[in-house]
Amino acid sequence: MPMPLFRLLIIAALACAWCLALLGLRFHWSGHTWFSFMAWNLFLAGIPLGFAVILAKIERWRLATPLLAGWLLFFPNAPYVLTDLLHLKERGGMPLWFDLLMLLSFALVSLWMGFQSLHLVQVWIAEKTSAAVAWAFVGICLLLSGFGIYLGRFLRWNSWDFIRRPEALMNDIWVRFADPLAHERTWGVTLGFGGLLMIGYLFWIFSTSNTRVPRTHAD
């Protein structure tokens, strides 16, 4: 079953503080703020966890639907931070091991918050429908996250653009669905990262002693 919400939020806060402390040390030692965008990425990665915690307290679908939509919109931001490892190289006189430690910390904490939020949503859906429906939802979400990672890393779209520039964003998406064979990288990234996230989520959920697979009362 999911971790108690208060404990979950405390652990998330401590983990985020660790990441920000490393970032602050880098600012101090290097004398510049090159990786300042990591703080924003961490904030975006925490938004779906906030949605999921609120969702866990709601019973009615009518109230839950906008929360689920918001959660799904921001969820890809959590695994997206994994791709920030592409920024790893020697810069500003900082030891490479420190930047690796910092980037891995941000990536793992973001992924952990994402998986925790996904599990909360999965349990909620399982309780309202069935375990099979909940697992299908998980698979679809992780595949969509792979697509979201592509949109963010290669086309530089973000979750806010669904509100700020919806027509341009939807046009970019439609072009890739209309002619999929002309966009091999799109589907390579989507399926590759979607598959990686599914494997990671299965590893996480089945290896955590206090986590059980969501089941309905009928099960």
For residue range 114-138, what is the model confidence (pLDDT) as tens digits? 999 999 999 999 999 999 999 999 9
Q: Please give the Cα distance from 107 to 94 (Å, whole number).
A: 19
215: in domain: no
Q: Number of structural domains, the chain?
A: 1
As to burial, measured by CB atoms within 10 angstroms (0-12 exposed, 13-18 middle, 19+ buried), residue 54 is: middle
Which residues of the chain are modeled with pLDDT < 50? 217-219
For residue range 38-64, what is the model confidence (pLDDT) as tens digits? 999 999 999 999 999 999 999 999 999
Residues listed for the chain: 219
> Rounded to the nearest 5°, which phi and psi values hold at 214?
-55, 135
Q: Please give the Cα distance from 100 to 87 (Å, whole number).
A: 10
Q: Which residues contact 45 (CB under 8 A, 6 or more apart)?
A: 77, 78, 80, 81, 109, 110, 113, 114
Q: How far apart are the first and last CA of the chain?
A: 15
Q: Which residue has the tokens 């999929």?
A: 180
Q: Please give the Cα distance from 110 to 45 (Å, whole number).
A: 5
216: in domain: no
What is the pTM for the complete model shown?
Answer: 0.89
Q: Please give the Cα distance from 31 to 24 (Å, whole number).
A: 10
pLDDT (0 to 100) of residue 218: 46
218: in domain: no
Copy the structure tokens of residue 109: 């904490």
Which range of residues forms the domain containing residue 102? 5-207
213: in domain: no
Q: Please give the Cα distance from 93 to 5 (Å, whole number).
A: 41
Handedness of CA 123, 197, 135, 178 (dihedral sign): positive
